[in-house]
Chains A and B, each alone.
Chain A
Amino acid sequence: MTSSIEPPHVYTARASSEPILELRNVDFCYPAARRSAAEVLGGSRLHKINMIVRRGKAHGLIGESGSGKSTIAKLLLGLTAPQSGQIFFDGELLRPDRLAAFRLRVQPVFQSPLDALDPITPIGKQIIAPLLVNFNMKSSECQARLAAAISAVGLSGEILGKLPHQISGGQAQRVNIARALILDPEVLICDEPVSALDMTVQAQILNLLSDLRESRGLSLLFISHDIRSVAYLCSEITVLKRGSIVESGSRDEVLLDPKTDYMKSLLEAVPNSGLGLETASPSKPFSRQIGRRDLPAEG
């Protein structure tokens, strides 16, 4: 299949801060048979979700398990459709006939990086597959794009011939990010991308995402239940509880001046709480900041 979308690197630069992804009054409910226990108890539904991800910005989505965070990711990736409400991408209503082009511009990075890779297909083939399938691109160009994507995430070419079980979790998540980047997307939907990784690797991946956002002008929807990661990476935060938005605003508003008891309880649950926003420093890497309890402001 050849998509009608133009090859990467041709998107016109737009003014940052304009909405790139928007959910308007979105309602969603899983069919009863597909609900997990957590969903049955709490958040199998999404109620009147209104949320905007702005161009070039990182938007955090936080909430406890079963609150509907990953469901929002699936809706935004076009993997499921809302029962009511609308989703807009780049100012245009997302319709089934536009999904193919949309999916190439909005890419996912999932939790459990090794699970997101086919265990019996070499990594190089997995990264390059979306290019081969969706674009009539010369082999040499594909290889150049592959090398660029691998290099952008700090991996060497040796990894391309390996199978997923031969690499570490941190490398696997970098491979997933490279696989997303090879299509040169405008938005990355990161669904708990660091929750399955240890602290050191978490810091590396968060720094990588932050660097990519700055260097490529990527928009990020960063879904996590780890408030510290969200606080580090995101300038805007939406808080979800049982399928409804309970708070939304800038990072400082949500974290320093929480309006709801739910958000306050989430903040109190953070180990060594006191996120240190007042001492934010954009220049320090995440790994150093965690220990000193200070977080950078977004650039």
Chain B
Amino acid sequence: MRRNTQKIFASKIARALVTLVLMVTSVFVLMRCAGDPVTVLLGPDATADMRAAYSGELGLDRPILAQYLAYLHNIVRGSLGVSYVYRQDALGVVLSHLPLTLILTCSALTLAAVTGVAGGIAAAVFPSSFIGRACTIGTVVGLCVPSFFLAIVLMLAFSIQLNWLPTGGAEGWRSLVLPAITMAAASSAVLARYTRVAVREALDSRYVLAALARDIPFWRILIHHVLPNAAVPILTILGLLIGGAVTGSTVVETVFSWPGIGNLFVTSVGNRDVPVVQAIVLLAGTAMIMTNLAVDLGYTWLDPRSKSSET
């Protein structure tokens, strides 16, 4: 059985690597199709000699296949090229923005996980109560309101009208509050929705009815039977949210001028800074793959059926 598990994991890792190669290739092709980076960097008034010299310096005068192979070769060596704009190692540029993005995404995901899971459980356990209805309505609102709109509303209310919090930047915890709430809102709504469905399904099951008929207290049934059974779909959604958080912060970082990877991504796409964009995509893709692997391991821990397949 252990060999079988190793096979499954090897297959998952192989698929993840293929996905990564396809993703890098797609980004490389799309960035080249989107326009000439030399024109963007030097402007339309640059002479042909200047353009040729700059192309040669960046290696853009070589055939596209050679550029692509050189890029793949560099990736294997751990070098993602030099940023056209910053004139530094692209990976270094990205990693320098990573801590701020991690602070924002970790804060937002913690907030989303706590409010989403708790709200979903409340909505499932007390569907007709005030708290249950409030959670259900909050979920719908959270799903419907776009991040940029919520960001503007929060800014108007708490920064401009009440003057409690700054409108942007990354100076202390006060700057973190509005971006974190904005980013958490949609994730919290998604988590609450899936948690409610998963918990409701477990609550309606026969084994819960059987436990109630044995006079086992409801809270004990909830903790020992309902939540463990509902945990797998919740973990799946949480994994997707964590995996997507690195790039998912793009809109929020841009609106709140938060100098993280999302903001860098938007700037780099505008500047045709191909090495930085590819480094971000590679990082985001790796984060998603690692999260998926962690979720797969989590399934084994949460659901013993995945360990014991023999019947």
Question: Contact string, A142-166, partner B, CB cutoff 8 A, digits 1/0?
Answer: 0000000000000000000001011
What are the residues of chain B within 8 A of A179 when measuring CB–CB? Answer: 210, 214
Q: Distance in Å from the Cβ of A165 to the closest Cβ of chain B?
A: 6
Minimal Cβ-Cβ distance residue in B for A131: B214
Q: Specify the main secondary structure of chain A where it touches its partner.
A: loop
Q: Distance in Å from the Cβ of A114 to the closest Cβ of chain B?
A: 9
Q: Is the CB of B206 within 8 A of A77?
A: no
What are the residues of chain B within 8 A of A119 when measuring CB–CB? Answer: 207, 229, 305
With A99-B215, A107-B214, A118-B229 known as contacts, the answer to whether A165 contacts B305 (CB < 8 A) is yes
Q: Is the CB of B207 within 8 A of A117?
A: yes
C-alpha gap A251/B302 in the complex (Å):
49
What are the residues of chain B within 8 A of A110 when measuring CB–CB? Answer: 206, 209-210
Q: Distance in Å from the Cβ of B213 to the closest Cβ of chain A?
A: 5
Q: Is the CB of B214 within 8 A of A116?
A: no
**Of residues 202 to 253 in B, which have CB atoms within 8 Å of A's CB atoms?**
205-207, 209-217, 220, 224-225, 228-229
What are the residues of chain B within 8 A of A176 when measuring CB–CB? Answer: 210
Q: Does B308 contact A (CB under 8 A)?
A: yes
C-alpha gap A165/B206 in the complex (Å):
15
Categorize the interface residue count of chain B: 20 to 34
Q: Is the CB of A165 within 8 A of B220?
A: no
C-alpha gap A118/B302 in the complex (Å):
13
The residue from A79, A120, A183 contacting B305, defined by CB atoms under 8 A apart: A120
Central interface residue in A111, A112, A119, by most chain B CB within 10 Å: A119
What are the residues of chain A within 8 A of B210 when measuring CB–CB? Answer: 108, 110, 116-117, 176, 179
C-alpha gap A129/B305 in the complex (Å):
20
Q: Is the CB of A129 within 8 A of B211?
A: yes
What are the residues of chain B within 8 A of A239 when measuring CB–CB? Answer: none
What are the residues of chain B within 8 A of A112 when measuring CB–CB? Answer: 206
Q: Is the CB of B213 within 8 A of A77?
A: yes
C-alpha gap A165/B306 in the complex (Å):
11
Knowing that A99-B215, A104-B215, A133-B217 touch, tell me 12 more A-B residue pairs with CB under 8 angstroms. Answer: A108-B209, A110-B209, A115-B207, A116-B206, A118-B207, A118-B211, A118-B229, A121-B228, A130-B215, A134-B215, A166-B311, A183-B214
Enumerate 22 A-B pairs (CB-CB under 8 Å) in ascending A order.
A99-B215, A103-B215, A104-B214, A110-B210, A115-B207, A116-B206, A116-B209, A116-B210, A117-B207, A120-B304, A121-B228, A129-B214, A129-B216, A130-B215, A130-B216, A133-B215, A133-B220, A134-B216, A163-B304, A165-B305, A166-B308, A176-B210
Q: Which residues of A contact B (CB under 8 A)?
A: 1, 3, 77-79, 99-100, 103-104, 107-108, 110-112, 115-121, 129-130, 133-134, 163, 165-166, 176, 179, 183
Q: Which residues of B contact A (CB under 8 A)?
A: 205-207, 209-217, 220, 224-225, 228-229, 302-305, 308, 310-311
